[in-house]
Structure 1
């Protein structure tokens, strides 16, 4: 299991790490919704990542700041799109955008939010490698590296490159399949070597201002994304989220397991959503990636147990 060295929220008794969490007394007239979600095991989710997400979701910032931020964020996206109607390629400042995101992450986001953000890129890269290992053995689309360890890695156009990687991956993979005259289909022997969960990060800053939760941060960053990238870059980035369904289908066809597709929320890339929904859909994208990776890790463990028997 990977280690999150960032620490927990200040002044918050973290019952998610308590040894007796399963047997804690419950007020039946006022049960804790987050405790119920923590104890529920219906989703294949790495426990430390699930605990970080729940801590972040039940924070003061998520409860009280997000409802204030969200409507203003949507108005700013509309304003940015109006600007880009007039000047589609200006402003275009991806380096400044990523510098500002890295600065905000370091100084204002919770350690849990920062861990989940950086972890997401690692999981996404592993899933894409898993697909090409099995769908096109010997061929791997050329992609930008996605193993960030520090905030400095964010400044290297990390978010923009992540979106570009997904599209370039789908294009190159399918071109190679067409060249081979093959389609993605169930494999009798699956190569799980790309998948692991031993991702480690150095301690994240946990200062007095590190209070902003992940979902609020995403709502704040999305208008900046809309303003500081070209109209085409923002549209492509927002609608890359719907490729969750495409990647999920690839994994389902390779493994013959389709149960996880019910957990994919960003669907139908041929019918794009409005970019005004990008913030919430980005949260769903992160959840889908965690769940798909967790599902594949379960299959890997089952395969290893079968081989050891």
Structure 2
């Protein structure tokens, strides 16, 4: 049985409706059906319900204490290699299969969204560095850090190309969907031992101060500020497709108003959802364009 079937076969009690069933059945938010089911089942886990309320204030206290420590010794104990080894071990040992699946899927989708934008801005020459992990091994190779760097470098290089060549991001009558995978993302089965119990949100809350501890203060600040580029990416995509009606759920807002690092874990979850929604919208548009082409050829 697929993850989506879990909700499709769920009985509906009118006197006690399941909130996650309601969200799953709602189609107003673009989202891959299987990924949506995986995420919602993760949200309904006991660790998220009972452990997260305890973990979140402790994690935020750790961020405050590390911020003070890093202001005194900003480069102490910094090692991206050590960080990603710890993240790999933590994901392999403690994070649930569904949460690991969603994390790896995020890197995959994020790379495709940036490639889609580049492919639909004629005349620009932006070198890409796609990240498409299908198992946990690539985490050890600075996966999280490279993901942030890719986003910044893409925005900087794209806009330099636009400025230097006098180009503009415009609506495309025919979109290039070559970068967008509309079939199942080939994520391999994740570790599923008794220790793999942490839900996605709890894992992110725990990993955020760990991320801060092993990075310089500048690197951590840059990483958290990258979350506010969600709106930038959304605006670029909306210009290309000629509509922003379904991009209103982006919650990491104005990139010119940097936020503190305190709520970075929560904002990281919103960042993942924004990527999922945009990618699902692009798949929807891809299918519509393919259907229109098929109808044209038949006619």
TM tier relative to shorter chain? over 0.9
Match runs of 1:280-299 below 5 Å? 280-299=266-285
- Structure 2: where are the runs of 5+ without partners? none
Q: How does 1:261-272 map to 2 (within 5 A)?
A: 261-272=247-258
Name the counterpart of 1:126. Answer: 112
Q: State the alpha-carbon separation in 2 of the partners of residues 107 and 127 from structure 1.
A: 30
Q: Report if the CA contact (8 A) 1:134-1:187 is conserved.
A: yes
Secondary structure in structure 2 of the residue aligned to 1:276: coil
Q: Is the 8 A contact 2:63 2:262 kept in 1?
A: yes
Root-mean-square deviation (CA, aligned residues, Å) is 1.6
Match of 2:95 in 1: 109
What is the aligned partner in structure 2 of residue 159 from structure 1?
144
Query: Residue 91 in 1 paired to residue 77 in 2?
Result: yes
Query: Is 2:5 the counterpart of 1:17?
Result: yes
Change (3 A) 1:136 1:224: farther
Rounded Cα–Cα distance in structure 2 between residues aligned with 1:225 and 1:160: 10
Q: Do the aligned partners of residues 207 and 183 (structure 1) sit closer, same or farther apart at CA in structure 2, a change above 3 Å counting? A: same
1:176 pairs with 2:176: no
Q: TM-score, normalised by structure 2?
A: 0.94
Q: Structure 1 length as normaliser, TM-score?
A: 0.91
Q: CA deviation at 1:83?
A: 1.1
Q: Structure 2 vs 1, CA of residues 188 and 26 (structure 1 numbering), >3 Å: closer, same or farther?
A: closer
Q: CA deviation at 1:27?
A: 2.2
| Contact 2:124–2:162 under 8 Å retained in 1 | no
Aligned residues: 294
1:37 positional shift: 1.0
Report if the CA contact (8 A) 1:136-1:173 is conserved.
no
Task: Check conservation: 2:113, 2:279, Cα contact below 8 A.
Answer: yes
CA contact (8 A) 2:74 2:217 kept: yes
Q: Which runs of 5+ in 1 are unaligned?
A: 1-6, 9-13
| Corresponding position of 1:29 | 15
Give how far 1:67 is off. Answer: 0.5
Cα drift, residue 185 of structure 1: 1.2
| Aligned 8 A contact 1:134 1:254 in 2 | yes
Cα distance in structure 2, aligned partners of 1:20 and 1:32: 12
Q: Secondary structure at the match of 1:191?
A: coil
Deviates more, 1:215-224 or 1:145-154: 145-154
Residues of 2 paired with 1:90 and 1:116: CA distance?
32
**Cα offset, 1:93, TM superposition:** 1.2
- Local SS of the residue matching 1:260: coil
Of 176, 199, 222, the residue aligned with 1:236 is: 222
Q: Which stretch shows the higher mean deviation, 273-282 or 188-197?
A: 188-197
Shift in Å at residue 125 of structure 1?
0.3
1:212 to 198, 205, 213: 198
* Cα distance in structure 2, aligned partners of 1:112 and 1:229: 27
Secondary structure of 1:275's aligned partner: coil
1:230-267 CA-partner distances (Å, limit 9, x unpaired): 01100000010010000000000011011122111111
